[in-house]
A and B are shown apart, each in its own frame.
Chain A
Amino acid sequence: MITQQSIQSDCISRSDFETLFNDHYSRLCAYAYNFIKEQEGSEEIVQEVFFKLWINRSDIKIESSIISYLYRAVRNASLNLIKHINIRENYKQHNKEQIEQSEQLDSDPLNVSELEKKIRASIDLLPEQRKKIFILSRYEQLKYKEIAEKLGISIKTVENQMGKALQFLRKELVEYLPLLIIFFNHLINGE
């Protein structure tokens, strides 16, 4: 775990930095995406924040934790981008809502449960195509048919990939899910 002290002294190693990057990259991208609604741009922002953090590691004054520094930097860069782009009209209102929403979210963006961490890490582990399909289904609420059209693949492939994704995530997450209790309820109620 990288602490405030270690990032400020010059002795943080590249591999510690890699760990920090791996632990937070996906979620920071998702955080940026919340504001700017564009994946490529989100990744650019997060890359840039990490890049600056590394090259300025001896100069940057980090007042709270390194994690909240990252989130604040990503948010500032995202908002700055929005200010400078004429975002397509239909996104404007949406963005406004998103910013309001994420400001609430931002009140404690770092308070993440173990389960949530595990879910994110598990989604990250999915192969690229499967991850894409899962995210389109789960978070964009697209039907199989729509996903197939969007990605230019067959519905059968979407079905199979979703099956594998859900199977994998169930196995990954099973011990974190509070299902045992429900299972006992079934027994007690004689269902």
Chain B
Amino acid sequence: MRNENRHISDTLLAKFLLGETSQKEQQIIIGWLEENIAHRKRLDQLEEMWLETGKINPRPIPVNKHLAWKVLNKRLDHHEKLSSTVLTKFSKFKLVLYSAVAASVLILLGLFNWYLIDSSQKQEFLLTNNTKTTLTDTLPDGSKVHLNQLAQINYKPSADGHKRVVQLKGEAFFKVKRDTLKPFIIHAGIGSVKVLGTSFNVKIKKNRDIDVSVKTGRVELFYPNKALTDTLHMVLRAGESGLISLQKDSIIKMKNPSAFFWMDKKLVFRNKPLKDVFEVLEDCYAVKINSNNPSINNLNYTSTFINKDINEVIKVVSTSFNFTYTSEGNTYTILELKKDE
């Protein structure tokens, strides 16, 4: 068989089988096939092999299982190291939760060895906002970050240099510099957010739920659920918001019209029931809004406010429906005028 290789290579036979040969090449092969029954046999074998490989289902994908095992093996090592030191300090539940978070984070990011590497190799960036206003800064990778009051971030490229990793406390708005080779990952307690280059808001609430709203681009949310059966995953696009909820043990898509308010002081309402408008205002300005007639809650409202204080906003809303209002401290009461008055 070796001898025949000199005349017609498997490369040419492969081309022939797959219909990639020119007419001239075809003629050569046909001639070659007629020369010898062994030639025929060789093509038959090749063809048979081709047909058999096509029958398997599920169809294979080009994975590298040796590399994959290395990754898993490292993760297992890391996990065992971690659990032997943490075990004494935490209850089993916490440990399970911790490993779940660690697990998802590790698998998704392949970060399993960041902690091993000398931190001097990496440019770390720590920022805490102790001021009463919003704090804006630029990370070493060129991304912009706005921290709300009391928020804290710790930015660190991964050991292998393939990821940009941020630990977040509180609420921050990110405008991530696009670098498709280095995903930007935010660990926010119970879950994580992964992006390539986009702008979005992440808020860790008091109950540890994570509120994410996307301004431009696309972000992915990750959450390992408590049952440890899955890592949940959701993609958000511009204008969308999602909540990683501990109580619901899931990721939920939701609306959050005021997600960026703390940053840009801008509110947009489009055909929103007043009930929702009031909720947003209560949330943004830390006030309470009542009305003397619950039926007004269903009226729809459209308007945009930029840099307005709450008195102005209430006044504009009231006026557009011919309502009046009273205020006492942080409580506003909207009054509907009786029709016969």
Contacts and interface: CB of A to CB of B under 8 A. Distances in A.
Sort chain A's interface into a size bin: 35 or more
Interface in B197-231: 228-231
Contact of B72 (A21, A86, A128): A21
A50 interface: yes
A115 interface: yes
Contact of B63 (A29, A105, A139): A29
A166 B54 contact: no
Interface residues of B, number: 57
A67 interface: no
A30 B235 contact: no
Contacts of A187: 37
Contact of A55 (B59, B69, B79, B231): B79
Interface of A: 14, 18, 21-22, 25-27, 29-31, 33-34, 39, 41-44, 46-48, 50-52, 54-56, 73, 76-77, 80-81, 84-86, 102, 105, 115-116, 119-120, 123-124, 128, 131-132, 135, 137-139, 143-144, 159-160, 162-167, 169-170, 173-174, 176-179, 182-183, 186-187, 191
Interface in B23-43: 37, 40-41
Contact of A135 (B11, B61, B237): B61
Contacts of A52: 103, 228-229
A138 B61 CA distance: 11
Contacts of A55: 76, 79, 83, 99, 103
Contacts of A14: 73, 76
B103 A30 contact: no
A44 B234 CA distance: 14
A162 B11 contact: yes
Given A162-B18, A166-B14, A139 B48 contact: no
Contacts of B230: 76-77, 80-81
A14 B65 CA distance: 16
A177 to B, nearest CB: 5
A182 to B, nearest CB: 6
A86 B18 contact: no
A138 B57 CA distance: 12
B61 A47 contact: no
Contact of B57 (A21, A25, A105, A132): A105
A163 B233 CA distance: 40
Given A14-B76, A43-B68, A51-B75, A84 B233 contact: yes
Nearest to A30: B58
B65 A26 contact: yes
Interface string B228-269: 111111110100000000000001000000000000000000
B76 A123 contact: no
Given A39-B61, A51-B75, A138-B54, 7 more contacts: A14-B76, A33-B61, A47-B75, A48-B107, A166-B14, A176-B52, A179-B45
